[in-house]
């Protein structure tokens, strides 16, 4: 049984007492509450495996309307299971980060420079320019830059890559709202990092029903200076990556990485109840276990919004949420 459309939600966890800070952050990016719900500690343990009271808010950006993808869910727990991924490097096993597009990367970066500057576990990457063509042509007044400009911001609350296209477009891959202060899109793509040397997208293709996205074929990377700067790589640290999409859906993509070099395994910090970005969800026509061959630790129950839902562990060790449509 395949998923319906692209990735539905990016799930961020915090303590109940800290919800207003996260609501303010996402409000600045155009994500507004559309639904709230709760579970008792016992109910949350049944579905998510973390025994604490849960209050959740679902947030929607105007761009989500195009394909019902890229929403944010804030899970506010009475007690957290742990401090999560924080500012860990992007390419560690179990990593997650959210991608979204903007038409004004400099405005975003300027505001992020001082945001939560009191927090020690934070990382704002360099502003990286990655040419689309390889080898890149010279940039002149007559031949302007064509490619991506990107900055990543990681802190205990979340891990987000902000990206601006220059000189080209990918229609539908992120819907930018130009009325917003930062002229940004909904969440356009999610990232997972499989264990070293264990790149395998077959499960996501056969069980989720995803397919290779245009311009996203599996390939090796990591030797380009812009990629090294964006992903905090040292010389010689290479990886394999493929970008997947739901059929006929140009956004809500899933990027699957696997490094060729040894990395820490932080999958335990990337699960429900861990602070920060701790989950992704898809919508599906069935959340029955029979629709999910190969998964482990399958759990099914009504979620905090009263929706039929399930959680499970994929063969690569990632926890997932499916929501019934």
Q: What is the pLDDT of residue 149?
A: 97
Q: What is the pLDDT of residue 1?
A: 56
Query: Within its chain, how far is the Cα of 186 from the centroid?
Result: 11
Contact 3, 282 (CB under 8 A): yes
In three-state form (DSSP H/G/I as H, E/B as E, the rest C), the secondary structure along the chain is: CCEEEEEEEEEEEEEHHHHHHHHHHHHHCCCEEEEEEEECHHHHHHHHCCCCCEEEEEEECHHHHHCCCCEEEEEEECCCCECCCCCCCCCCECCEEEEEEECCHHHHHHHHHCCCCCCCCCEECCCEEEECCCCCCCCCCCCCCCEEEEEEEEECCEEEEEEEEECCCCCCCCCCCCCCCCCEEEEEEEEEECCCCCCCCHHHHHCCCCEECCCCCCEEECCCHHHHHHCCCCCCCCEEEEEEECCCCCCCEEEEEEECCCCCECHHHCCCCECEEEEEEEEECCCCHHHCCCCEEEEEEECCCCCEEEEEECCCCCEEEEEEC
Contact 176, 185 (CB under 8 A): yes
Q: What is the pLDDT of residue 182?
A: 98
Q: What is the pLDDT of residue 287?
A: 96
Q: What is the pLDDT of residue 134?
A: 85
Give the residue among 269, 273, 206 at the shortest CA–CA distance from 54.
Answer: 273
> Kindly report the CA angle at 323 between 155 and 54, in degrees rounded to 5?
55
Mean pLDDT (10-residue bins), the chain, 325 residues = 92 98 98 98 98 98 98 98 98 98 97 96 96 91 96 98 97 97 98 98 98 97 95 97 98 98 98 98 96 97 98 98 97
Q: Which residue reads 């929706």 in tokens? A: 307
Give the residue among 42, 71, 68, 79 at the shortest CA–CA distance from 301.
Answer: 42
Written as six digits, the tokens of 195 are 């264990």
Q: Is the dihedral of CA 151, 126, 14, 6 positive or negative?
A: positive
Give the residue among 88, 74, 107 at the shortest CA–CA distance from 231.
Answer: 88
Q: What is the pTM of this model?
A: 0.97
Q: What is the pLDDT of residue 31?
A: 98
Q: Which residue reads 């709760």 in tokens? A: 38
Q: Is the dihedral of CA 95, 101, 104, 107 positive or negative?
A: negative
* All domains of the chain in start order, with CATH: 3-324 (3.10.180.10)
């Amino acid at each position: 049984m395949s998923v319906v459309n692209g990735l539905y939600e990016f799930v961020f966890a915090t303590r109940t007492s800290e919800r207003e800070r996260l609501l303010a952050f996402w409000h600045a990016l155009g994500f507004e509450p559309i639904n709230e719900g709760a579970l008792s500690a016992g109910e949350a343990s049944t579905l998510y495996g973390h025994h604490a009271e849960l209050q959740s808010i679902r947030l929607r950006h105007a761009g989500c309307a195009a394909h019902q993808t890229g929403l944010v869910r804030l899970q506010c727990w009475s007690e957290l299971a742990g401090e999560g991924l924080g500012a860990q490097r992007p390419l560690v096993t179990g990593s997650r980060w959210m991608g979204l597009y903007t038409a004004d990367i400099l405005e975003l970066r300027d505001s992020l420079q001082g945001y939560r500057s009191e927090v020690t576990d934070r990382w704002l990457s360099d502003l990286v320019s990655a040419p689309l063509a390889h080898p890149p042509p010279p940039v002149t007044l007559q031949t302007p830059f064509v490619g991506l400009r990107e900055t990543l911001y990681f802190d205990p609350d979340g891990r987000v890559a902000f990206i601006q296209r220059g000189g080209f477009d990918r229609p539908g891959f992120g819907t930018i709202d130009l009325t917003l202060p930062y002229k940004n899109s909904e969440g356009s793509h999610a990232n997972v990092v499989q264990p070293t040397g264990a790149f395998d997208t077959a499960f996501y293709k056969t069980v989720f029903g995803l397919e290779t996205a245009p311009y996203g074929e599996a390939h090796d990377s990591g030797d380009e200076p812009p990629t090294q700067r964006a992903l905090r790589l040292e010389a010689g640290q290479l990886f394999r990556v493929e970008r997947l999409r739901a059929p006929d859906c140009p956004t809500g993509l899933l990027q699957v990485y696997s490094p060729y070099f040894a990395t820490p395994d932080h999958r335990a910090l990337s699960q429900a109840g861990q602070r920060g970005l701790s989950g992704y969800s898809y919508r599906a026509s069935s959340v029955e276990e029979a629709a999910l061959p190969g998964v482990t630790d399958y759990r099914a129950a009504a979620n905090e919004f009263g929706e039929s839902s399930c959680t499970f562990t994929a063969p690569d060790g990632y926890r997932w949420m499916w929501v019934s449509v």
